[in-house]
Structure 1
Amino acid sequence: MRNRFILIFFFSITLSFSQSVEGVVLDSITGVGIADVHVQSLSGNHGTITNEEGRFRIINSSNEKDSLRISHIGYEVLELSVKEFSINYSDTLYLKPNLLELQGVTVTNDGVSEMIRDIMETLKKSQIRNSYAFYRQTSFKDTIAMEWIEAFYKITHSKNGIDKIKIDQARFARKRSDSTSLFLIHSNFSSLTLTPQLYSPVLKTNEVTVGKPFGESFIKNYQFYIEKSYQKNKSTYHEIHFEPDDDITNPINSYGSFVYIPSEKKLVQYTVFIDHALGSDDLSNYKGDKKLAIDNARHKLQFNYSEITGHLDFINVEYFYDFIENDVVFPCRVASKFIIYKNAIKPHKKLRTSSLELEDVRNFEKAKYKPRFWRDNPVIYRTERENLIISSFEKENAFGTYFKGN
């Protein structure tokens, strides 16, 4: 978001098997790719985000009459037609930052409280939408990739988060390990099931869940303060930090920050941290003779919203922990992205609550792996490192059976 940064786009048109537009987003100062730039095909109704290298690919968007909307928090929204890409594909396009930090902005406690209540009401009353989503997860033990998951979903969702879900196509690969696999299997799926929605109503007295700043049962136990204020297109953006009171008794609590535009009542980004293993440290199923433990577990979830529509675009989930095996410490990381890439024309049928669908790991072992399908249908452009990870799994014949939903 720093003002000295200028975002550069290099675009090229590639008419591939699925008729797509490809490009890369780079920073003009560092030359490093910018991750998580949201790119949406307006008439084609498809969307994606750039990968860690700044590359993107939008399928079914080669029609010259189509237009692309390119957005990233802190920068001007750019809209260009595919025809402009085809004419100027070798050109460099500059997107200058337009998020000016404001100094000396004062907001009263009542003002902050009003924003929190506005957000809760917006989340509570947000309408359900039918869409298609794509999920990708990579699990690392130290620097070694131990697991790879990709899945296509039918979902219903709102500004409040994921509502219902059903896996349509998916695949996974996992390297064999008598101990590590206990903790890496589908780790971030569980994170999404425990915190799929930002707002939650009053809980029953005996119900244990993650404490959230927008939960009716927890809001009185959270402190909020404005960390920074910005101006963009004459609108003021507030970055608000939240954390639980020291005396809160709930065993699992979250903390973090969110970005809000009060004049438009839009939540732009919500980042939450949970210092807890969320059940991944349960060793009761391990029957081996090694001494095992999980320590320093931390989850990070980030919900990203469109500055134009206010709708949920994508969710990033990361899980960090130390895996201790016979007193040797292995830093582990599970990284995943969940992107809503297309709106559905008709309502979905036979969807399930997200907790039931995501926690039922038996779903991951039903049908044959189809390599051609996965070569031709990546919603998020794979990095070279990710391609190498997939190749290593394929050489070891590590891809198991996955399934197509009924």
Structure 2
Amino acid sequence: MRNCLLTVFLLFVFTTIKAQTIQGKLVDEITGEAIPFVSIGVMGTNNTTVTNDAGEFILKNVNFPVKLRYSHVSYFMLEQELNGPANNLIVKLKPAAINLKPVVVDPYRGLKLVKAALEKAAGFSTQHFYGNAFYRQLTSLNGKPSQVYELFYDLEFNLSKVKGWIAKQSRFAETNDGIAFSMSNQSYLTFSLAGYLFEEKKTGKTVTLKSLNDFEISIEKYIEQKNQDIAVVSCKYKGNKKQFYINSTYYIGVEDLKIYRLENSIFNLPIKLSGSSSKIPPIATTIATFNGEKTPIPVIENISTKLYLNLIAGGRTLTPVISSMLTIYQLDKTLNTQKFTELTKNVKDKAIIESIAYNPIFWKDNPFVKQTTLEESSIKMMESKSAFGTMIDP
């Protein structure tokens, strides 16, 4: 009987330890600085995540022992074995060698790389992907945090756009100090600006297979990885700078022709804001990271955007800055059975958020909701006012 009880106890302990969580931070081996947008995956599974702006990450439902893989285009890939849970794991990545002065044999090498990468992706343009995502948006007004909302939702997407979404959990808060500013469909703006390999627009100029000759394309440098070099290729628009246009920088594998990172600088964004006029055309920047290890094409993992505005409303100058972070932390083909809401510019974020009852238990100590310093100060301010809820205005 005693041995039987001992066996049951050991099985219970093993079961509770087997599926656990790993929390940690990725830093530069030389400088010690945090590394954002590092892909972390449990080898042999679909369990993956990406570090946030502060280099922090979390992996849930991990079965030990486990082997993790850390990858970033500017650092050497690292594999690490863990035998048990870790709550404060510090992982150091070694910077990859940078070749700033490549021998110029072919002046059209950059153009050929971008064209080949886009053509390769175009062969999969109709393939749909499904995944679980977390989204946070923070608005600062004249240098002070004014609004924050966070969403967990399921996504349907391809290489051209997000096709649809289903919100699962949400929370929202905003200050009430006499000045108000809100983007009613910032999520659509985020999705439409960044992370896609085919930016077909009716107006303005973006990098596509049809518009490559409109851009000055050159290789800035090579990142010397173990398996292949990554070419950093800049595409700068040569035409009329008064219209809407996007300058892009691609990180392309020279052997597999996959795009691993895409940075966009967006100028003269054609957006309309009611009740205000713009002193300076809006500017937006985006960074998107892709994972091409398990698929023949790069699949979006993370999108970070920042939108800068300079407005006059009611005789007052307003300088809103809207930042957002989208992380697709798990791909799941079985989600294709759901009925997704089509994502268009007519979708209003407020209506989506109001449709879901605020669940404080879900958000309390939620390990996935990691914050950078800026976001943390804003969220703490909102929580101190008991502001979080479904469209609560303290």
The alignment's TM-score, normalised by the length of structure 1, stands at 0.78
Once the two structures are superposed, what CA deviation does each residue of 1:208-248 show, in whole Å capped at 9, x if it has no partner?
A: 345210253x3342231222223211522211111223248
Choose which of 340, 347, 371 in structure 2 pairs with 1:382: 371
CA distance in 2, matches of 1:101, 1:219: 25
How many pairs are equivalent?
Answer: 369
Once the two structures are superposed, what CA deviation does each residue of 1:364-401 show, in whole Å capped at 9, x if it has no partner?
A: 22232112211243535224553442232133343342
Choose which of 303, 314, 335 in structure 1 pairs with 2:302: 314
Aligned to 1:372: 361
Residue identity in the other structure for 1:335: S
Is the Cα contact below 8 Å between 1:76 and 1:95 reproduced in 2?
yes
Is the Cα contact below 8 Å between 2:246 and 2:266 reproduced in 1?
yes
Residue identity in the other structure for 1:103: K
Aligned to 1:235: 228
- Show the 5 A alignment for 1:288-327: 293-306=278-291, 308-309=293-294, 310-324=298-312
Q: CA deviation at 1:84?
A: 6.7
Q: CA deviation at 1:314?
A: 0.9
Is the Cα contact below 8 Å between 2:20 and 2:60 reproduced in 1?
yes
Aligned partner of residue 390 in structure 1, secondary structure: helix
Aligned to 1:225: 218
Choose which of 243, 250, 263 in structure 1 pairs with 2:255: 263
Once the two structures are superposed, what CA deviation does each residue of 1:299-329 show, in whole Å capped at 9, x if it has no partner?
A: 1122211253432211111112234456665
Once the two structures are superposed, what CA deviation does each residue of 1:175-210 show, in whole Å capped at 9, x if it has no partner?
A: 2366532x4455354232355632156x7xxxx345
Choose which of 341, 360, 364 in structure 1 pairs with 2:329: 341
Q: Summarize the Cα distance change of 1:165–1:109 in structure 2 as closer, same or farther, 3 Å threshold.
A: farther
CA distance in 2, matches of 1:43, 1:52: 27
Residue identity in the other structure for 1:240: V
Q: CA deviation at 1:270?
A: 0.9
Residue identity in the other structure for 1:306: N
Is the Cα contact below 8 Å between 1:298 and 1:319 reproduced in 2?
yes
- Show the 5 A alignment for 1:159-238: 159-160=159-160, 162-176=162-176, 179-181=179-181, 183-187=182-186, 189-193=188-192, 197-200=196-199, 208-214=202-208, 216=210, 218-233=211-226, 235-238=228-231
Aligned partner of residue 41 in structure 2, secondary structure: strand
Residue identity in the other structure for 1:393: M
CA distance in 1, matches of 2:185, 2:262: 23
Q: CA deviation at 1:49?
A: 2.5
Aligned to 1:39: 40
Aligned to 2:6: none
Aligned to 1:9: none
Aligned to 1:148: 148
Residue identity in the other structure for 1:49: V
CA distance in 1, matches of 2:90, 2:274: 53
CA distance in 2, matches of 1:52, 1:194: 19
Is the Cα contact below 8 Å between 1:244 and 1:255 reproduced in 2?
yes
Q: Which runs of 5+ in 1 are unaligned?
A: 1-14, 287-291
Aligned partner of residue 111 in structure 2, secondary structure: helix
Aligned to 1:252: 244
Once the two structures are superposed, what CA deviation does each residue of 1:145-190 show, in whole Å capped at 9, x if it has no partner?
A: 1111111121123445534322222222122366532x44553542
Is the Cα contact below 8 Å between 2:139 and 2:148 reproduced in 1?
yes
Aligned partner of residue 344 in structure 2, secondary structure: helix
Q: Summarize the Cα distance change of 1:294–1:66 in structure 2 as closer, same or farther, 3 Å threshold.
A: farther
Aligned partner of residue 145 in structure 1, secondary structure: strand
Q: CA deviation at 1:345?
A: 4.4
CA distance in 2, matches of 1:223, 1:344: 39
Q: Summarize the Cα distance change of 1:156–1:99 in structure 2 as closer, same or farther, 3 Å threshold.
A: farther
Superposition RMSD in Å? 3.2
1:279 aligns with 2:267: no
Is the Cα contact below 8 Å between 1:35 and 1:54 reproduced in 2?
yes
Q: CA deviation at 1:91?
A: 8.4
Q: Summarize the Cα distance change of 1:222–1:31 in structure 2 as closer, same or farther, 3 Å threshold.
A: closer
Q: Which runs of 5+ in 2 are unaligned?
A: 1-15
Is the Cα contact below 8 Å between 1:48 and 1:380 reproduced in 2?
no
Is the Cα contact below 8 Å between 1:39 and 1:47 reproduced in 2?
yes
